[in-house]
Homo-oligomer: A and B are copies of this chain.
Amino acid sequence: MESSSSFLPQISPHSFFPQKPSKWRNTTSHSTRIKCQKMYVPGFGEASPEAKAAKHLHDFFTYVAVRIVDAQLESYNFEGHAELQEFLEKHPLNDGDKFCADLMRESSRHKALALRILEVRSAYCKNDFEWDNLKRLASQMVEDRNTRLMRDYVSETILPTENES
């Protein structure tokens, strides 16, 4: 099974950042420099952090599509449901494209299932996935967790001193 280090690119302690870091990178013209300064993010090579995150969302959409299709089959096509379950037992879903490619080649019935999964992941990504909600939840999580981490640390370190006094 693929480890989550693929989402978090491999960190080698001795070659953590092969590129020469420069603190800022500008992405637009001189006239709008102040607004467009961004922190330099090393270690993604030719890709970007957004591309890395997109790849993993893509696999996530395949996983969601498989669950959607399987739940639909369960309600009216028990044979198809059983076949998909059996296939899932033997094929990991970590690499969504490989899973679909393998499913397509298993049999003609499996091919129909695979085509449906492709269709569903496209529709889910385009219509159902709540992108604004993702942004809101992730931003809120960063703020909440930052606050909690600092509060926990302060509780641990300040309270004993107060008790002693």
Enumerate chain A interface residues (CB-CB to B < 8 A).
1-8, 11, 13, 16-17, 21-23, 38-43, 48-61, 63-64, 67-68, 70-72, 74-75, 85-86, 88-89, 93-94, 97, 100-101, 104-105, 111, 114-115, 118, 120-131, 133-135, 137-139, 141-143, 145-146, 149-150, 152-153, 156
Q: How far does the alpha carbon of A19 sit from the alpha carbon of B65 in the complex, in Å?
A: 16
Q: Is the CB of A146 within 8 A of B122?
A: yes
Query: Oligomeric state, in number of copies?
Result: 2
Give me the 6 closest cross-chain CB pairs, A-B, nearest first.
A21-B71, A54-B137, A54-B138, A4-B4, A8-B63, A13-B89
Known: A21-B75, A71-B42, A149-B100. A122 touches B94 (CB 8 A): no
Known: A39-B120, A74-B17, A105-B153. A59 touches B8 (CB 8 A): yes
* Residues of B close to A1: CB separation below 8 A: 3-5
Q: Is the CB of B58 within 8 A of A141?
A: yes
